[in-house]
Amino acid sequence: MPVKNMTKKQIQIFFERLREQRPHPQTELNYSSPFELLIAVMLSAQATDISVNKATDKLYPIANTAQAILNLGVDGLKEYIKTIGLYNAKAENVIKTCQILVNQHQGQVPETRKELEALPGVGRKTANVVLNTAFGQPTMAVDTHIFRVGNRTGLAIGKNVLEVEDRLIKVIPKEFIIDAHHWLILHGRYCCIARKPKCGECIVSDVCHWPDRFEFGANKAITVKNLN
């Protein structure tokens, strides 16, 4: 059975609940500047936030600017990030990115998508995270969690990441858009998980359109009124 799109009213309820649950959502990556966030997000590809934090907690006290990391060189940087997956390629990209930041941006992280995506190792998702989290722009970085939540619930149905991103930007009310990225990631990471979603504990199961949610504990009795 195909999943239906949520209505405007259901989307409003959906985000009101997520906001009530987590009034001040934040990334789980440790950072204290746009530059630290950029590097952490670059390192987080196909790696856990926990593994990245363990590495950057040692790296940043030593080098937390573009010039400082550049001074470490590729081999020096690898010593700090070698516990992270794909660390060889990531080290190369981080050093190249730091060189561009120093040469073209006075060591600062640019605030436009075009300039961010021009950096080695920075794709659309990474750029969106930095624009949203560091600079408060209404962007939506769609990772595996957000892609799953969007399609499963009917919040934003799309065949690919870009379709889901475009749909989310279109349907999410303005009052929620800045924090929506973090709410959706955290909901996907801890509740609407891939194999055994915790529908019985879910605070938005009554507006969710996933047909299988009742098999995972969603309460039929409270669902009817919010789906109409």
Q: Give the residue carrying structure tokens 């992270």.
A: 84
125, 166, 198, 212: the active-site residue = 125
Nearest Cα neighbor of 95 from 84, 81, 85 is: 81
Q: Cα(84)–Cα(96) distance, rounded to whole angstroms?
A: 18
191 is in an annotated binding site: no
Cβ atoms < 10 Å from Cβ of 204: 24
Is 166 an active-site residue?
A: no
CB 212 within 8 A of CB 194: no
78, 90, 143, 179: the active-site residue = 143
Annotate 158-178 with b (16+ C-beta within 10 A) or e (fewer).
Answer: beebebbbebbeeebeeebbb
Helices (H) and strands (E) in the chain, counts: 10, 0
Is 143 an active-site residue?
A: yes
Cβ atoms < 10 Å from Cβ of 181: 24
CB 25 within 8 A of CB 182: yes
- Binding annotation: 192, 199, 202, 208
- Binding annotation for [4Fe-4S] cluster: 192, 199, 202, 208
Supply the residues annotated as catalytic.
125, 143
